[in-house]
Structure 1
Amino acid sequence: MKIWLLRSMTELTSRKWISKLTGAFAESRLSRYLIPMFARTYGINIDEAEKPIDQYRTLNEFFTRRLKNGMRSIDQEQSALISPVDALITSCGPIEKGLLLNVKGQDYSISELLADEKQCKSYEHGYYIVLYLSPTDYHRIHAPAAGSIVSKVHLPGKVYPVNHFGLTHMKAVLSRNERLITYIKTEQCTVAAVKVGAMNVSSIFYIDPHKETVERGEELAYFAFGSTVVLLMETGTFEVDQAIKPNTKVRMGQRLGLLKRADLQ
């Protein structure tokens, strides 16, 4: 009964206009007075922030803060796929017949996640990693690999929570929420970086929507509040590091595995 009630309440609050109202407050000057409490509540390391905490004009400006130079190191292996974010790996594993299996007890179809039958064929037996950003985390999203941006897709949708409750008790939130997908063609393959919006996220923003190439670790986009990034690697093009497992915390720039050409497997 309790789960049913929470699920029903979440359905009611998943409307985009509610997130827009929340976002409008977070963008207001009044919200700046909540920044110290917000930082304390979520245990945010303010010493890493680019600016002193009292120099942020709004809660959203603080939430989407940059870090001081040198706070994250980028793995230098040429074929490395790095974590694009500070996050918790909620699920990862081989894609089997086009399905992301057992993501918090649910299976996801990549054809629904990408909403593109042609694109999904390349990933039918590939590898996926789901990265959840909590309010504690740094919320800039960086390029997981160097390459050319061959396609960008915006898929409107709901704004269900993508935390443990949302992924466990709401139906297929990763493929029902708003998504911004970036396809990056590397020397080895094409990586799909799926940025999933969430409750209280008014929008997902590109740093430069006209950019055609990216370097590994370069800023790509950011969330206005917490959310999730799903990385999809094509069939036979990824070898995951042994340390990368569900419920593992990773930092932006950390190696997730190595990319390879499908014909070299």
Structure 2
Amino acid sequence: MNDNALPRPGWFKRLVAQEDLNFLLTNRVPRIALTKLMGRFSRIDSPVLTRLTIAAWRLFTPLDLSEAKHTRFRSLKDCFTRELKPGARVFDARPDVFASPSDAIVGATGVVERGQVYQAKGFPYATEELFGPTQDVSAFEGGRFVTLRLTSAMYHRFHAPADGVVEHVTYLSGDTWNVNPVALKRVERLFCLNERAVVRMTLSSGHAIALVPVAAILVASIRLHFLDVLLHIGRKGANEMPCKAPHVKGQEMGWFEHGSTIIVFVPPGFELAEGIATGVQIRAGQALLRRLP
């Protein structure tokens, strides 16, 4: 008998139905229009409206503001992009450690093979397409990638994973598909379709690395401090921004204005740090990768 003809248990059918509903509600909608609307709403300066919105937000997410530097916000954006109390995130100081740039849930991990990586099982995409037509991705062939997913309730700022110099940023405007696991299993090459920035950095060890922040529905703005610019979906095409911005490990690089994904690329010579695996929740500063001796 064909396995597909076997009756499915009730929990399986309920799971599929929930995934279908999740996908419809977060993707089969006017994504860009809703994202622009959310951007305007999040900037409304009203402490009362902000408190009410945060209270509603907490009904659906495990939002924890106990580590926030301030807990009274004038707008929803202020809450999304909140700073933490000093010392709330300690970065692993060992020189061979590549730290996580953000709080996140670890998604797909693996090795770049023939210029391809995976967003989910059975869904490959090309590094060349992700990085854009102007970028040379040969440095990462045979190296590792790690996908870090930030949920809406998480701390949304991201930091330098190691000492080094940011030398170039490519900003690519795009769509705003949801980047949750349900969408990653259904939309091919999703990360290559969405708005994203490619941050190229050379570490003090000489290794070339890349951080690729990817925006999503309701979040289509990426702030990079060292360029003093807000990147958003109004910037069409590939925007090339050469720079020379030294960073020390743990230094704040920028933020998302809601929650999304950062894809980390390193060249050969790195391995996953102990305990790093798909589904694990980590904090900014925790060891993500280790440089091999």
Please report the TM-score for the alignment, with normalisation by the length of structure 1: 0.89
How far off its partner does 1:135 sit? 1.2
Tell me which of 34, 43, 61 is aligned to 1:18. 34
**Inter-CA distance 6–88: structure 2 relative to 1 (3 Å threshold):** closer
Q: Of 268, 271, 277, which residue of structure 2 is paired with 1:245? A: 277
Assess if the C-alpha contact under 8 Å between 2:199 and 2:212 holds in 1: yes
Distance 1:21 1:38 in 2: 17
1:50 aligns with 2:69: yes
Residues 104 and 117 from structure 1, CA distance in 2 versus in 1: closer, same or farther, beyond 3 angstroms? farther
Cα displacement (A) at 1:239: 2.0
- Secondary structure, aligned partner of 1:212: strand
Structure 1 residue ranges (4+ consecutive) displaced by more than 3 angstroms after TM superposition: 1-9
Residues 110-151 of structure 1 deviation map (CA, whole Å, 9 limit, x = unaligned): 011111465211112110000000112110011112101111
Aligned to 2:54: 35
What is the rounded CA distance, in whole Å, between the counterparts of 1:38 and 1:105 in structure 2? 33
Q: How does 1:1-265 map to 2 (within 5 A)?
A: 3=20, 6=23, 10-15=27-32, 17-30=33-46, 31-32=49-50, 33-52=52-71, 55-101=72-118, 103-116=120-133, 118-186=135-203, 187-209=205-227, 212-234=245-267, 236-259=268-291
Instruction: Give unpaired runs (5+ residues) of structure 2.
Output: 1-15, 229-243
Secondary structure of the residue that 1:29 maps to in structure 2? Answer: coil
Unaligned runs of 5+ in 1: none
Q: Whole-Å Cα distance in 2 between the matches of residues 14 and 170 of structure 1?
A: 14
The farther-off stretch of 115-124 and 147-156 is 115-124
Higher alpha-carbon Rg: 2
Query: Which moves more between the two structures, 89-98 or 203-212?
Result: 203-212
Shift in alpha-carbon separation, 1:112–1:221, aligned structure 2, 3 A: same
Structure 2 length-normalised TM? 0.81
- How many residues align? The count is 257
AA matched with 1:27 = R
Please tell me whether the aligned partners of residues 42 and 75 of structure 2 are also in contact (alpha carbons under 8 angstroms).
Answer: yes
With over 3 angstroms needed to count, the CA separation of the structure-2 counterparts of 1:237 and 1:36, relative to structure 1, is same
Q: CA deviation at 1:26?
A: 1.1
Distance (whole Å) between structure 2 residues aligned to residue 8 and residue 222 of structure 1: 26
Deviations 1:18-72 (A, max 9, x none): 31111100111354131233245322221100112xx210111101101001111
Secondary structure, counterpart of 1:19 in structure 2: helix
One-letter code aligned to 1:207: H
Query: 1:130·1:228 contact (CA, 8 Å) conserved in 2?
Result: yes
Cα separation, partners in 2 of 1:144 and 1:50, compared to 1, 3 Å: same
Contact 2:26-2:178 at 8 Å conserved across structures = no
Judge conservation of contact 1:7–1:170 (CA < 8 Å) in 2: no
